[in-house]
Amino acid sequence: MELEELGIREECGVFGCIAAGAWPSELDVPHVITLGLVGLQHRGQESAGIVTSDGESAQSFKVHKVKWKGCLLFMLLKEGMGLVNHVFSEDSLKKLYVSNLGIGHTRYSTSGVSVLDNCQPFVVETLHGKIAVAHNGELTNAARLRRKLMRHGVGLSTSSDSELITQLLAFTPPMEHDDTPDWVARIKNLMNETPTSYSILVMHKDIIYAVRDPYGNRPLCIGRLVPVGDINGKGKNTSETEGWVVSSESCSFLSIGAEYYREVMPGEIVKISRYDVQTLDVVPRPKGDASAFCIFEYVYFARPDSIFEGQMVYSVRRRCGQQLAIEAPVEADLVSTVPESATPAALGYAQKCGLPYIEVLCKNRYVGRTFIQPNMRLRQLGVAKKFGVLSDNFKGKRVVLIDDSIVRGNTISPIIKLLRESGAKEVHIRVASPPIKFPCYMGINIPTKEELIANKPEFHDLANYIGADSVVYLSVEGLVSSVQESIRAKHDSGNNIKTNKFRAGKVGHCIACLVGEYPVELEW
């Protein structure tokens, strides 16, 4: 919950769609992309953009700028500030027709300020026509790349490191012929220039290329659009394919009539066409390096119904709760949670301890982030206004309250006070993730090291500081084992042949914000 209050968040999400079969297609590509972005709205709420194309020529990204409620909208390249369903009205979507493929992006800002110029997807002209690029992540060597591009005479129009990716893709590799673009060489050149962090969609003519960095730090997966009657009803090879989608998360697939197909693996370059999905190459990590998928995707950022590394996020969060019960049991009468992201962990904790899971708080769903204020007093009042108290459920009882994080310690204190004043006999806090001690430089907005409660003197007596009877975090080892338990079991059994053949090297996760050890050397 405190992650939500403090705005600690993933910075963006990407989504692409391409119609299968004969073109022009009857598939409503703009609406599919819009619904896909709505499903990724938790990953970005400052701006959103869509680029679509008929796929017939490299010049089909026509641009038409108009004013609309303070937003800039484009004919085939359309971007705006705000929520997806506010930016993309029915009338504005009509301007994206006729389209056979497209990519979209929804954004928070980490690198680059929150202005319309930084909205994605970016479009640039190359030797072989226009490309559109959508990027999730943050480059660890962006400053050096920016200087390098400028030394080569490349002017930059935004402060976003995603523009650097777009410009690097426009570079012509030495072995490329003028009449034949070599997109694998261009993408590999980009990957050689920057090790992490990025998941990228690149659209050129009638193709979408899906790319993950060799460390797999940011998620990316592929779905198959099938007839509505065949969803969850038939095997992958027995029903018609209406199109392909690619997304930061699989959570929106069901709402658009898509089945989960597979992940884009770390270092993989995938070509998605109207005909099929094809692996073009896999760029390896330096020898001995493990993959480094962000572990906080499991803890908080992703929607619980998303699938990463062959496992549902909800199941991992539940295992975290079970592990927390093993590490930090306590005599109590009931287990509850701060709604809603910690609910799976609370259920796992209750199951393992043999205690009932009972709700003690109800959330006011109509108070959003617009209410959050920088002033500490207003922030604390905001917590009280976000929740109602179900006092009949816990009066006179000992409560174990599960939360997904305690970052600064400011938002959990008024909740504990609220429960005590409403009749709780004891309030024990259990946190389903380890303490965050270090900032992230790979696409997550985390407060400075000095702001984190784990680095303050108060951390040594945290229970007293926040007003709880006890506070225990899940250990780093406990979190890693909860995340990797299912992955290692599948790897050992050899059941996941399709993905295992691409998953070269050791399986690992980025835990830099917990231990301060980053998967790559940081450059400033």
CB–CB of 386/363 below 8 Å? yes
What percentage of the chain has pLDDT greater than the value 90? 62
For the segment 498-503, the average pLDDT, to the nearest whole number, is 47
For the segment 60-83, the average pLDDT, to the nearest whole number, is 41
For the segment 346-360, the average pLDDT, to the nearest whole number, is 98
CA 214 to each of CA 412, 494, 511: distance values in angstroms, whole numbers, following the listed order = 38, 22, 17
Q: What residues are annotated to the active site?
A: 12
For the segment 33-43, the average pLDDT, to the nearest whole number, is 91
pLDDT of residue 122 exceeding 50, the answer is yes
Q: Please state which of the ranges 136-145, 179-188, 404-413 shows the lowest mean pLDDT.
A: 404-413
CB–CB of 445/8 below 8 Å? yes
The predicted structure's pLDDT at residue 100: 94
pLDDT of residue 354 exceeding 90, the answer is yes
CB–CB of 361/386 below 8 Å? no
Q: Please state which of the ranges 73-77, 162-166, 195-199, 469-473 shows the lowest mean pLDDT.
A: 73-77
Of 115-124, 437-446, 468-477, give the range with the top mean pLDDT: 468-477
Give the span between the Cα atoms of 508 and 222, in whole angstroms.
Answer: 22
pLDDT of residue 440 exceeding 60, the answer is yes
**In the structure, what pLDDT confidence band is assigned to residue 392 with cuts at 50, 70 and 90?**
very high
The predicted structure's pLDDT at residue 75: 33
CB–CB of 316/324 below 8 Å? no
For the segment 363-391, the average pLDDT, to the nearest whole number, is 63
CB–CB of 226/241 below 8 Å? yes
pLDDT of residue 81 exceeding 80, the answer is no
- Per-residue pLDDT reduced to its tens digit, 408-424: 887 899 899 999 999 99
pLDDT of residue 234 exceeding 70, the answer is no
For the segment 328-334, the average pLDDT, to the nearest whole number, is 98
Q: What is the residue-wise DSSP string for 324-378?
A: HHHHS----SEEEESTTTTHHHHHHHHHHHT--B---EEE-TT--GGG--SSHHH
**In the structure, what pLDDT confidence band is assigned to residue 407 with cuts at 50, 70 and 90?**
confident
**In the structure, what pLDDT confidence band is assigned to residue 74 with cuts at 50, 70 and 90?**
very low
For the segment 228-256, the average pLDDT, to the nearest whole number, is 82
- Per-residue pLDDT reduced to its tens digit, 502-518: 444 578 999 999 999 99
pLDDT of residue 124 exceeding 80, the answer is yes
Q: Between 109 and 232, where is the model more confident? A: 232
Q: Please state which of the ranges 46-60, 104-118, 136-150 shows the lowest mean pLDDT.
A: 104-118
pLDDT of residue 39 exceeding 60, the answer is yes
The predicted structure's pLDDT at residue 373: 40
For the segment 462-484, the average pLDDT, to the nearest whole number, is 97
Strands 129-136 and 387-389: unpaired
pLDDT of residue 94 exceeding 80, the answer is no
Q: Please state which of the ranges 24-38, 255-269, 462-476 shows the lowest mean pLDDT.
A: 24-38
The predicted structure's pLDDT at residue 361: 94
**In the structure, what pLDDT confidence band is assigned to residue 477 with cuts at 50, 70 and 90?**
very high
**In the structure, what pLDDT confidence band is assigned to residue 151 with cuts at 50, 70 and 90?**
very high
CB–CB of 469/428 below 8 Å? yes
The predicted structure's pLDDT at residue 363: 85
For the segment 131-150, the average pLDDT, to the nearest whole number, is 94
**In the structure, what pLDDT confidence band is assigned to residue 8 with cuts at 50, 70 and 90?**
low
Q: What is the residue-wise DSSP string for 397-408?
A: SEEEEEES--SS
pLDDT of residue 438 exceeding 60, the answer is yes
Angle in degrees, 0-180, between the axes of helices 313-327 and 476-493, rounded to the nearest 10? 130
Give the span between the Cα atoms of 477 and 511, in whole angstroms.
Answer: 10
The predicted structure's pLDDT at residue 364: 78
The predicted structure's pLDDT at residue 69: 33
Tell me the average pLDDT of the chain: 85
pLDDT of residue 222 exceeding 90, the answer is yes
Give the span between the Cα atoms of 467 and 463, in whole angstroms.
Answer: 6
